Amino acid sequence: MIQFRIKIITLTLLILSFNGFAQQQNDSVKVIKAGHLIDVERGITLTNQLILIDHDTIKSIGPDLTIPIGATIIDLSHATVLPGLIDCHTHMTFQPGENYYEDIFRRTPVDLAIVAPSYAKRTLEAGFTTCRDVGASAFIDVSLRNAINRGDIPGPRLLVATLFIGSTGSHGDLNGFSPFLDWIGPKQMTGVANGIEGVRAQVRYNIKYGAEVIKFGASAGVLTEEVSVGAPQFSQEEMNAIVQEAHLWGLKACAHAHGTVAIKMAVKAGVASIEHGSFLDDEAIQLMKAHGTYLVADIYNDDYILSDYAKHGTPEIIINKEKLVGKEQRLSFQRAVKAGVKIAFGTDAGVYPHGWNGKQFKYMVKFGLTPMQAIQAATINAADLLGWKNKVGSLKKGKYADLIAVKDNPLHDITLLEQIPFVMKSGTIYKNELKK
């Protein structure tokens, strides 16, 4: 009898052990109970949905899924669930310091590389699970991307441009200072290139060292000391060559472009997106529509530049250029939205503090988008621009398990997206401040 009891106890322990092992084996399987789920592809809100996740991938979504035994249950039945957000215009490797000149002359690429992981973490915790990074020095963005992909540090998945390509004396060149301060080192590491063969060589150089998208300066800019804010800084032939070379390697190109003429030139060259797009006329808008060119307009940061930059010794010429550009950029955005130009979300984060990316949603709604359209700009539209529509941008079977959640409905109050309490990327929870 004693031996029989021992056998029963042993068998019971084995069963319990097996069940515990099965439970452990299913730790990678998660089911999210979503009270409300925003379907960005159809532009509707669904209720009482279950999202089945296996490792980093969404396996199925629906109201009546069978929950696998041992799956981890994440109860967001009191929240609104959205796809992870995408910012198509960031500079993850820097942000303004306390002194304009110290930033330029006393900080090395090593300084930038040391703090970049903290910016990546802030961005991820702000709900942005994917970003296009459109310009960094010394290939810091490549190393940052790789470290995130390896799992060494937390951050959004990055599609990186590496070196900004600009002509001599342009927005992409150090200007307004002594020529004796020129970069000492490989000339191509500056991103400065001229002429058709020169720009083709620069594109190849960027790609060789890790670029996944090509960014160039079609026009002058705001935060540099050249006199113009919008004059073209490459010829049409040079812009054509940049875009053609990128296409030969299977990559898209995007253009920094404030001025009307430069915008039209870049669109004709075949860029996938116009960054900033401050001075759009009717012809430029129609060209963008005809070519299917996205507008990525950073319409929040004017507030930050005008309120904070002068405090840190930023030259007056830069502040005056921002005063000229800010209002016109928002009006151009409004006209583009009304005309039906494709819009993707991009903030120029790095010009202002990382993690504030969500502040732009309110401005996009103020200047013409509906809340749903603003969310679509930062999800499915942004994914389309990046060429990653099969990976990210909506909650759908086969895509990465990237999602965020907020307590209430952002379609009623878009400012909810300024503070995201729940963030999941690739099936891993990086932030959860939601309480039932």
CA-nearest of 229, 307, 240, 245 to 267 is: 240
Return d(Cα 383, Cα 362) in angstroms, integer: 21
Residues 215 and 318 reside in one and the same domain? yes
Q: How many CA atoms lie within 13 A of 393 on its CB side?
A: 23
| Strand ranges of the sheet holding 29-39, from the earlier edge strand across to the other edge | 57-62, 44-54, 29-39, 72-83, 403-406, 422-425, 428-432
Which whole-number Å values give the CA distances from 76 to 25, 68, 170, 225, in the listed order? 24, 18, 50, 49
In this prediction, residue 15 carries a pLDDT of 38
Closest CA to 432 of 418, 417, 416, 421: 421
Q: Which residues pair with 429 in a beta bridge?
A: 424
pLDDT value of residue 185: 65
Contacts of 306 (CB under 8 A, 6+ apart): 319, 322, 323, 326
Statement to judge: residues 190 and 240 lie in one domain:
yes
> Residue 67 maps to which CATH number?
2.30.40.10
149 and 124: one domain? Answer: yes
> How far apart are the C-alpha atoms of 256 and 262, rounded to whole Å?
9
- In sequence order, the 6+-apart residues with CB closer than 8 A to the CB of 242 are 165, 199, 200, 203, 214, 216, 234, 253, 269
Separation of alpha carbons 139 and 85, rounded Å:
25
For residue 183, the model assigns a pLDDT of: 60
Is the separation of the CB atoms in 84 and 130 below 8 Å? yes
Q: How far apart are CA 312 and CA 214, in angstroms?
A: 31
Q: What is the pLDDT of residue 109?
A: 92
The answer to the question of residue 340 being in a domain is: yes
| Pair 37, 112 in one domain | no
For residue 102, what pLDDT is reported? Answer: 86
Residues 112 and 135 in one domain: yes
The answer on 289 and 411 residing in a single domain is no
Residue 21: per-residue pLDDT = 36
Task: For residues 416 and 79, give the distance between their C-alpha atoms in angstroms, rounded to a whole number.
Answer: 12
Enter the tokens of residue 88: 């198509």
Residues 409, 379 within the same domain:
no
Give the integer Cα–Cα distance in Å for 427 and 425: 5
Domain that residue 279 falls in: 85-386
Does 91 lie in the same domain as 39? no
Same-domain check for residues 303 and 421: no
Radius of gyration of the chain (CA): 24
Whole-number pLDDT of residue 84: 98
- Tell which residue, 156, 170, 146, 152, has the closest CA to residue 92: 156
User: In the chain, which stretches have pLDDT less than 50?
Assistant: 1-2, 4-25
> Is 77 in the same domain as 89?
no
The predicted structure's pLDDT at residue 179: 75
Could you tell me the pTM of the whole model?
0.93
Neighbours of 219 (CB within 10 A): 29
Within a domain: 392:
no
Query: Beta strands 157-160 and 214-217: pairing type?
Result: unpaired
| SS3 state of residue 8 | helix
CATH number at residue 154: 3.20.20.140
- Residue 391 placed within a domain: no
